[in-house]
């Protein structure tokens, strides 16, 4: 068995763009400028959230036995593509082409696996570094029909890009305190996903391949995100936040409906990660607006975040979601990662 490391011209720049650095930081963990080819035997497959892991018995350049660990998508994302724990069979030979880990010489992100029977499975294309997800069959909006914000929603597109994401503003107004916090931030060890934490409402609105449901029970609107099994409670019978809020990454939310638009006011955040490497303090507040795009029936979420310590101007953004008939799948996240993976 001969394993190879191949330099890829041009992919390094591509993978640091929004299309390839989606989810929680592909380029922070793996080298997009290199392609690794691993030949070996399947040792173990962890079919779990937030990531699956494939263990491959192989040998290094010195002929010594080693175990490669290749990162895959979350179990939920794989399941939506029709994959289950039988994708890999322990003891079978396999060739994997993927991207080498930056910190572990025997770590990789799975690109394409070639099986002994001649079949293959691609998670991230090795030519464009695009992660593939299950394509959603959007529920069409019939002529003359209308749609409310209630239902099940998912991000459009089948690749790990910024599909449905609107323009963001305000991040250029970072303060010295915000810059210092960002410089001290470790995108791997401090990533909420590694610890099975949601991070913030903004992070929860558009993970690729993961659904969100919105329902109303009495005076509460419930927003359930498959990602991390987060349930947000929007209190529709409150005009103000209580004085004794227990800080959390999702905060305390009160809401009101105006002409079919749900307006959510949230306070009481704990210090954390708004999204990516954009951080927040416990002084952050947020206003979200949820409405239906009239001509498409899609859900439009927009937000204005005020983070007075780290940013001198409001942070704004939006996300568009499609209606879907996909069933909600519990996430049941398992924190941590394989030894040396980080």
Contact 303, 201 (CB under 8 A): yes
Q: Is the pLDDT of residue 14 over 50?
A: no
Tell me the pLDDT of the chain averaged across its residues: 89
**Per-residue pLDDT at 315 exceeds 90:** yes
Lowest mean pLDDT among 13-27, 120-134, 262-276: 13-27
Both tokens assigned to 262: 């749900």
Q: Which domains does the chain have, with CATH numbers?
A: 4-122 (2.40.50), 151-323 (2.40.128.20)
Going by C-alpha positions, the residue among 94, 220, 200 that lies closest to residue 150 is: 220
Contacts of 303 (CB under 8 A, 6+ apart): 201, 202, 286, 287, 288, 289, 315, 316, 317, 318
pLDDT beyond 60 at 321:
yes
Name the phi and psi angles at 26, rounded to 5. -50, -50
Which residue did the predictor score with more confidence, 295 or 257? Answer: 257
- pLDDT value at position 3? 72
Count H helices and E strands in the chain, helices first: 5, 18
pLDDT (0 to 100) of residue 44: 97
Q: pLDDT tens, 48-74?
A: 999 999 999 999 989 999 999 999 999
**pLDDT surpassing 80 at residue 316:** yes
State the alpha helices, DSSP H only, in the chain: 11-15, 22-29, 75-80, 176-184, 201-204
Q: What is the pLDDT of residue 287?
A: 98
Q: Is residue 8 very low, low, confident or very high in pLDDT (cuts 50, 70, 90)?
A: low
Is the predicted pLDDT of residue 162 greater than 50, yes or no? yes
**pLDDT grade, residue 24 (50/70/90)?**
very low
pLDDT at 18 over 90: no
Place 339 in a pLDDT band, splitting at 50, 70 and 90.
very low
The per-residue pLDDT for 137 is: 83
Note every long-range contact of 242-251, with CB atoms under 8 Å and residues 24 or more positions apart, other chains counting. 247/282, 249/192, 249/197, 249/198, 249/199, 249/200, 250/198, 250/200, 250/201, 250/204, 251/201, 251/286
The answer to whether 131 and 110 are in contact (CB under 8 A) is no
**Which pLDDT band holds residue 161 (cuts at 50, 70, 90)?**
low
CB atoms within 10 A of CB 50: 26
Instruction: Tell me 180's DSSP state.
Output: H
Span 265-279, average pLDDT: 96
d(CA 253, CA 235): 6
pLDDT the model gives residue 21: 38
């Amino acid at each position: 068995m001969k394993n190879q490391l191949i330099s890829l011209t041009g992919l390094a720049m591509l993978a640091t763009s929004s299309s390839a650095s989606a989810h929680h930081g592909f380029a922070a963990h793996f080298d997009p400028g290199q392609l690794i080819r691993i030949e070996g035997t399947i040792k173990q497959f962890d079919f779990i959230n937030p990531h699956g892991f494939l263990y491959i018995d192989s040998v290094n350049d010195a002929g010594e036995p080693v175990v490669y660990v290749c990162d895959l998508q979350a179990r939920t994302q794989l399941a939506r593509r029709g994959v289950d724990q039988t994708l890999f069979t322990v003891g079978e030979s396999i060739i994997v082409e993927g991207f080498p880990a930056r910190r572990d010489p025997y770590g990789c992100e799975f690109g394409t696996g070639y099986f002994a029977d001649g079949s293959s499975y691609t998670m991230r294309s090795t030519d464009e570094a695009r992660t593939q997800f299950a394509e959603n069959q959007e529920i069409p909006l019939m002529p003359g029909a209308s749609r409310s914000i209630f239902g099940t929603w998912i991000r459009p597109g089948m690749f790990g890009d910024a599909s449905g994401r609107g323009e963001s503003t305000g991040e250029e107004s970072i303060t010295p305190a915000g810059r210092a916090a960002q410089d001290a931030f470790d995108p791997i060890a401090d990533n909420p996903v590694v610890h099975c934490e949601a991070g913030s409402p903004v992070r929860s609105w558009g993970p690729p391949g993961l659904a969100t449901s919105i329902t109303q029970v009495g005076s509460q609107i419930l927003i359930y995100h498959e990602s991390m099994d987060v349930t947000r409670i929007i209190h529709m019978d409150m005009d103000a936040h209580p004085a004794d809020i227990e800080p959390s990454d999702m905060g305390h939310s009160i809401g009101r409906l105006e002409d079919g638009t749900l307006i959510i006011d949230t306070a009481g955040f704990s210090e954390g990660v708004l999204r990516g490497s954009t951080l927040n303090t416990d002084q952050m507040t947020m206003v979200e607006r949820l409405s239906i795009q009239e001509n498409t029936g899609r859900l439009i979420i927009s937000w204005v975040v005020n983070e007075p310590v780290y940013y001198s101007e409001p942070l704004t953004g939006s996300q568009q979601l499609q209606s879907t008939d996909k069933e909600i799948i519990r996430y049941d996240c398992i924190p941590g990662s394989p030894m040396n993976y980080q």
